[in-house]
Amino acid sequence: MKENIYSRSRRRTPWTDKASVTPLESFLDDHAAQEYSRRHPRISDTGESEFLNTFEPVACPHCGNGRYKRYGYLRTGLRRYRCLECGKTFTILTGTLFENHKQPISEWIDTCLELFSEQSFEAISKANRKAYNTTRYWIDKIFLALKGTQDGIMLSGDVYIDETYLRAIKRDVEKKTDGKEYRGISRNQICIGIAYDGMHVYCCILGQGKSTQKSVYEAFKDHIAPCSTLIHDKEKAHKKLIQELELKSIEYDSKGLKGVPDSGNPLDPINRRCYELQRLMRRHPGFSRDDLPGYLDLFSYIHNPPQDKYEKVENLIKRIIENPNSLKYRD
């Protein structure tokens, strides 16, 4: 039977558990086991419980009551609490994405750092010696943690705006009655709106096919400060947004800018953001379009402050602990 590459263990070698092996095969198998152990330490050996114990619960995650007492420790060293109202026990991780985690948070940190460097899932799996399915599950958790991170973004000053498109996957492509595909910007294209003010970027799905005045306005009305200056191409779909927010408008003919070097192109800042988004998506070929909101949140998180990746991880860990949410393996 052919081995499933997506669930294949990266701890095993062709000689693992074999009764008879050569000295070289034994050496290679031992090396693989040692390297795996180095990359996957026990939780109790990483010091994570010490830092987690510095967090204090706000309330019982089971009933919401704020009266509780300390109630010993888990085997990993993580402090446990008991609610004085419902009597249930909990830890600072109860109800969060880290609840009942079997692998150290330090490994999750490595995954985040690599993801924020725009590495592919396959590259992350190989670098961390994890099965692809495990990495995919962790990415789903990261997407869940990133959900809502764009909600408070407010662009102001000179704001660039544009649209870029992603093609629907092959099985979802709609065709005409004669079997031919629709040409150009059609319902087979997912429209993504991107806005950028030189410091922050905001992006979201505008719908299928070409953008409309309504879709652009609804997407950006709460993320662009009134009376800002909108720098854009001569896209008519921007008209309502400009009028309703009383934006100053600076328009450029994108067709007339073809061939102009980036250094002399007034739309280069937003063109660059569109290119970077397309580059990120190319590094995750075959992704489910249902996951597109998660990828857009990831793109925004990568390109918005803070710029240091460790600070991004710090903020994300705090977000997970302070805003409980959970995702079980089969959700």
Place of tokens 């991004």: 312
Would you list the domain boundaries of the chain? Answer: 45-90, 97-149+308-331, 158-174+181-303
Model confidence at 151, pLDDT cuts 50, 70, 90, reads very high
Structure confidence by residue, pLDDT tens digits, 269-296: 999 999 999 999 999 887 888 899 999 9
CA 78 to CA 50: how far, in whole Å?
7
Whether the predicted pLDDT of 22 surpasses 60: yes
- Contact yes or no for 238/216 (Cβ under 8 A): yes
- pTM score, whole prediction: 0.82
pLDDT averaged over the chain? 87
Q: Does 199 or 15 have the greater pLDDT score?
A: 199
Whether the predicted pLDDT of 6 surpasses 50: no
Helices 132-146, 292-303: inter-axial angle, 10-degree rounding: 70
* Region 129-133 average pLDDT: 74
* Region 305-311 average pLDDT: 94
* Region 104-112 average pLDDT: 87
3-class secondary structure, 126: helix
Structure confidence by residue, pLDDT tens digits, 30-86: 777 777 666 666 776 778 899 899 999 999 999 999 999 999 999 889 999 999 999
Superfamily of domain 158-174+181-303: Ribonuclease H-like superfamily/Ribonuclease H (3.30.420.10)
Model confidence at 5, pLDDT cuts 50, 70, 90, reads very low
Model confidence at 260, pLDDT cuts 50, 70, 90, reads confident
Q: Which of 23-27, 95-99, 211-215, 281-285 shows the lowest mean pLDDT across its residues?
A: 23-27
Q: Which of 17-31, 208-222, 268-282 shows the lowest mean pLDDT across its residues?
A: 17-31
CA 73 to CA 79: how far, in whole Å?
4
231 CB neighbour count, 10 Å cutoff: 22
Whether the predicted pLDDT of 208 surpasses 70: yes
Residue 106: predicted pLDDT: 85
* Region 314-321 average pLDDT: 92
What are the helix (H) ranges across 67-176? 105-116, 121-127, 132-146
Residue 181: predicted pLDDT: 65
